[in-house]
Structure 1
Amino acid sequence: MNFDVDAVIPEDGKVRLVCNIVERMNLSTVLSAYSSKGRKPVLDPITFLKVILFCYSEGIFHSRKIETFCKFDLRGHFILGGKKAPDHSTICRFEQMLADHSQDLLTEFVQLLQEDGHVDLKTLYIDGTKIESTANRYTFVWRKSVEKNQKKLMDKIICELGLPDGSTLDEVEEHVKDRFKEVRNLCSRNRIKFVYGIGHRKTQEQRDYERLKEVMERFSAYRNHLMLMGIRNSYSKTDHDATFMRMKEDHMLNGQLKPAYNIQLASSGAFIVGVMGSQKSNDLHTLKPFLDQMLPAYGKSLKNIVADAGYESEENYGYLEMKNLTAYIKPSNYETKKKRIAKQNIGRRENMIYLEDKDVYVCKAGKHLARGRDRKTKTASGFVDTVWTYTCRECEACPHASECIRTRNNVNSTHKSIQFSPSFEQHRMQSEANIMSDAGINHRINRSIQAEGAFSKLKDGLGYTRFRHRSMKKVVSDIVLVALGINLNKLHSKILNNQTEIIAYKKTA
């Protein structure tokens, strides 16, 4: 049937919005990368990007389904403008090319939103979620198992070859290599013929050769495992960048660990403005690298960072203070200290009297907890913090000892000790005051709606619950494209509803 597709598409249709947005974006890097492939392109990159973004906004992620959309959907024909529909392999190649420029596309789109007054980027609402990798679930490699087997093999070789007890792993491996070369040369000089199978008897030289070769291969495999693992405690054999994490979506209902990535999203004005992938299951160590990624593009506008209790640490507080950013981070003890059991716990530092002139805490029995030697703590990222320690050694005959002293490792301890970081407590008090202010209450409301709402749109709205690619680079690129699709849906909804102001929710009276 020959008819004008343009007449069928409504003027306020989302497909027209996608085309307008892509044509406004600066795609110089994408154009240069696409033209440098050395082959005649089936479809120009601008039209290709329109197809990809519109399909992602509709929850169409697989290349074969995108190909079907281009062939049989009127909206696909509108975007192509009479050009031939690309096949699924061409679509895959284009998506792989976009992996190097996906973050630039998101930044460019956010700048357009800022120009049009949809976001101001003064406040970022940050949250994270775990999404399962496409790696097999039972391909785990654990650090403890590798290190244990490596140590057992090293001790066994030290005993077999008569090496000194204090030999290091490198010395043992080097000695095994030298011994292997000697046996190999011996077999070559004596022209020993290796035999295999039933009915053949191996010589001692062949047995030594095979044994040393096996040991060398095992040492090499252990080193390779630890190298791929890096600072992590696990990785997947079929997706080396995936780390085994505890997921909420548990198909066996037994708290099973699955290969996954920790995806961080930053929202502003109900739009996703930042995406980062992490191999750490905890959000605690993701805030600094995430902001380091976004500050070059948005640093002049950023003022407030809103996050949940999973991001609270002295290192993060200090980082935000150094960058002149106001922290609206909910303290991890915010809910706990409001409970009656916490208020009645005489062993808590908050329930003791502090004498500033003597620098001591006074417990319920009137005993003094004097300050001892300060202790330095160092995090995995290298951050050093100072911890103050206050101790009372007169608790042996105290009638309140059972209530006051509650330690995991030493139930029968005869002294009370409290430890805390004064710098951390100061930052925590300031952050708590921030979230309790009128502006802080509104920020918390927006964080729960915008940051967590973005994951709801991702998983429930678009059905994106498991990655389709392997490796961190491809995974992050895919999420960025999905984030662009979500942003296009939100922008189209705002235009239809004639919403011109920045979306910000406030506490109702």
Structure 2
Amino acid sequence: MNKKVVFKTYSQDQLSLLPPSYDDLVPKNHPVRIVNTIVDRLDISALERSYKGGGTSSYHPRMLLKVTIYAYLRNIYSSRKIEQALQENIHFMWLSGQSKPDHNTINDFRGKRLKGTFQNIFNQVVILLAEQGVLSLKELFVDGTKIEANANRYTFVWGKSNKTSKERIKKQLKELWKYVESVYDQEQMLPNEPDFEAIDPEKVAQTIDTINQALKDKEIDKKVKQKLNYAKKNWPQNLQKYNEQEKILGTRNSYSKTDPDATFMRMKDDYMQNGQLKPGYNLQASTNNQFIVNYSLAQTTADTTTLKDHLQKHIASYGEAPQTLTADAGYGSEENYVDLEEKEVTAYVKYNYFHKEQRDKKHRENPFHPDNLFYNQETDTYYCPMGQAMNKIESYESETKNGFKQTIHKYQAQNCLGCPLRGSCHKAKGNRTIERNHNLIRLKEKARDLLLSEEGIAHRKRRCWDVEAVFGNIKQNMGFKRFMLRGMDKATTEIGLIAMAHNLRKFSVA
């Protein structure tokens, strides 16, 4: 016997006695409520002051802030898709109070209004989370990752190419002057030789005019004449372009034409895991308990030069330095060790060859390695494996790209001639010479003791799952692998929104 099928009542035209409330449709523990509650507690007076009076009314910045943060929490980064969500998604409608700003308003808000003000908003949220006990500002785990910029991958400027082009112009100018010398008779007086070292638009134009004047009444080769015409027409303006590009480059080696703040960096994110050069920014993040405490963007590809500014930003944000900082070997430099020591931060920071020292027995037991030579601190003397004194012969200062000065000492053996160990000791023609940086040696010994302590081992183990897991979440779970906004300031604001979304999402499931 067949049973009767019963369907639930379905009527699109059914009227309600009372109008439905969006609040009834949003679950009590939904992340959108957490965003709403936390943003309501924030002081956004600085953001409100960015609005000027007069004209038509503006959407409230608190509402726009809530919508933008929640959109990033839901992996919605396009302003057009946020606009669409405000018209279709119940959670966005509830959060915005049914306000429907268009994509231009949303883009203008996150790209211009939040610039310079969002950092303070982010810091307030971090402090709130710290008060809840879910993170600590005392212990930091630092690492960096590269994120692609919103820029064309094939329109770029290389500093090395500019330098090569300027050298080529200098070389061709000299060749043209040699031609002038060759067409003049010995009895004829040559004009004064131009200054070929001053490669700037005005000087080059003057040099070309001088060469043209010198060849005015001469029969010259057709190819030389064509080159002079081309040089007069193109070289000064090309040099002007190179100079403008060098100003944008600064200390960098490259930049993108569509986002001049972005630097070309090697990124391993294609399906074959091949390193690819793409315009991007170097994201530096400090985490604790997988919450982002501090973030900054750098235009350099190496992490080494970013730590000082990143740490200073943390101090400016929260009023004090952390008690401990843990980072990998990419940050182990004398400059960073000195800065951490001056700020009284316990640094569990590896240096190059730290793991090799621990694992490579040959390195540790190599009697000829400078690190293994006996050093008498009182007499400032090294001794080679044969017991011969190596006295200091010179001290000099070297300077890093950041302007940090290092003091290097040179030591030399007195007589290596006839030494039976010379072939194993060194291959130089004269007596063996070594260079030593005593301050760096001291700092490495201090770092080694910290890293090999029980606390150091625990911090090193924790760093892997604390900060690296955050980057994995941002790139894989949140799908944020490329910026939507262009320029250093706007990209910094956007990565701040990503950091805020990451923190609130993690807090909502904690």
Determine if the TM-score, normalized by the shorter chain, exceeds 0.5.
Answer: yes
- 1:345·1:404 contact (CA, 8 Å) conserved in 2? no
Q: Which residue of 2 aligns with 1:176?
A: 205
Moved more, 330-339 or 362-371: 362-371
Moved more, 419-428 or 147-156: 147-156
Relative to structure 1, the CA distance from residue 414 to residue 208 in structure 2 (aligned partners, 3 Å threshold; closer, same or farther) is closer
Q: What are the within-5 Å matches in structure 2 for residues 177-326 of structure 1?
A: 212-250=232-270, 255-300=275-320, 302-326=322-346
**RMSD over aligned Cα, in angstroms?**
2.8
- 1:158·1:172 contact (CA, 8 Å) conserved in 2? no
- 1:393·1:414 contact (CA, 8 Å) conserved in 2? no
Q: Which residue of 1 aligns with 2:183?
A: none
2:298 maps to amino acid: S
Find the residue that maps to 1:390 and give its secondary structure.
Answer: strand
Relative to structure 1, the CA distance from residue 177 to residue 359 in structure 2 (aligned partners, 3 Å threshold; closer, same or farther) is closer
Distance 1:298 1:470 in 2: 28
Q: What are the within-5 Å matches in structure 2 for residues 103-502 of structure 1?
A: 103-157=119-173, 160=176, 164=193, 166-169=195-198, 173-174=202-203, 176=205, 212-250=232-270, 255-300=275-320, 302-338=322-358, 339-392=360-413, 394-405=415-426, 413-494=429-510
Alpha-carbon displacement from aligned partner over 1:72-115 (angstroms, at most 9, x marks no partner): 2121122122x232222221111112123221221121122233
- 1:158·1:165 contact (CA, 8 Å) conserved in 2? no
Q: Which residue of 1 aligns with 2:118?
A: 102
**TM-fit CA distance, 1:379:** 0.9
Alpha-carbon displacement from aligned partner over 1:459-503 (angstroms, at most 9, x marks no partner): 111011122222111111111000000000111122xxxxxxxxx
- 1:305·1:328 contact (CA, 8 Å) conserved in 2? yes
Find the residue that maps to 2:294 and give its secondary structure.
Answer: strand
Find the residue that maps to 2:409 and give its secondary structure.
Answer: strand
Gaps of 5+ in 2: 1-11, 13-18, 181-191, 213-224
**TM-fit CA distance, 1:396:** 4.6
Relative to structure 1, the CA distance from residue 18 to residue 223 in structure 2 (aligned partners, 3 Å threshold; closer, same or farther) is same
Find the residue that maps to 1:127 and give its secondary structure.
Answer: strand
Alpha-carbon displacement from aligned partner over 1:103-161 (angstroms, at most 9, x marks no partner): 12211211222333333311221111111222222222221221121122234346657
Relative to structure 1, the CA distance from residue 74 to residue 413 in structure 2 (aligned partners, 3 Å threshold; closer, same or farther) is farther
Find the residue that maps to 1:169 and give its secondary structure.
Answer: coil
**TM-fit CA distance, 1:433:** 1.6
Relative to structure 1, the CA distance from residue 299 to residue 320 in structure 2 (aligned partners, 3 Å threshold; closer, same or farther) is farther
2:393 maps to amino acid: G
Aligned residues: 466
2:382 maps to amino acid: Y
Distance 1:301 1:356 in 2: 34
Distance 1:164 1:253 in 2: 55
Q: Which residue of 2 aligns with 1:192?
A: none
Identity of aligned residues (%): 33
Find the residue that maps to 1:264 and give its secondary structure.
Answer: strand
Distance 1:404 1:141 in 2: 46
Alpha-carbon displacement from aligned partner over 1:4-27 (angstroms, at most 9, x marks no partner): 221122211111111000000110
Find the residue that maps to 1:287 and give its secondary structure.
Answer: helix
Distance 1:242 1:328 in 2: 31
- 1:284·1:311 contact (CA, 8 Å) conserved in 2? yes
Distance 2:450 2:247 in 1: 43
**TM-fit CA distance, 1:219:** 1.5
Distance 1:263 1:272 in 2: 12
**TM-fit CA distance, 1:171:** 6.8
Moved more, 115-124 or 421-430: 115-124
Distance 1:381 1:274 in 2: 22
**TM-fit CA distance, 1:357:** 5.0
Distance 1:147 1:38 in 2: 51
Moved more, 239-248 or 414-423: 414-423
Q: Which residue of 1 aligns with 2:28?
A: 11
Alignment match of 2:44 (pick from 27, 31, 43): 27
Relative to structure 1, the CA distance from residue 399 to residue 206 in structure 2 (aligned partners, 3 Å threshold; closer, same or farther) is closer
- 1:67·1:88 contact (CA, 8 Å) conserved in 2? yes
1:176 maps to amino acid: A
Relative to structure 1, the CA distance from residue 248 to residue 416 in structure 2 (aligned partners, 3 Å threshold; closer, same or farther) is farther
- 2:86·2:93 contact (CA, 8 Å) conserved in 1? yes
Moved more, 18-27 or 459-468: 459-468
**TM-fit CA distance, 1:56:** 0.7
Gaps of 5+ in 1: 184-204, 406-410, 495-509
Relative to structure 1, the CA distance from residue 239 to residue 396 in structure 2 (aligned partners, 3 Å threshold; closer, same or farther) is farther
- 1:56·1:485 contact (CA, 8 Å) conserved in 2? yes
Q: Which residue of 2 aligns with 1:501?
A: none
- 2:201·2:239 contact (CA, 8 Å) conserved in 1? no
Find the residue that maps to 2:394 and give its secondary structure.
Answer: coil
Alpha-carbon displacement from aligned partner over 1:382-434 (angstroms, at most 9, x marks no partner): 111111222225335434333332xxxxx554433322211111111112222
Structure of greater Rg:
2
Are 2:93 and 1:77 equivalent residues in the alignment? yes
Distance 1:436 1:423 in 2: 20
1:140 maps to amino acid: F
Moved more, 119-128 or 207-216: 207-216
Relative to structure 1, the CA distance from residue 217 to residue 357 in structure 2 (aligned partners, 3 Å threshold; closer, same or farther) is closer
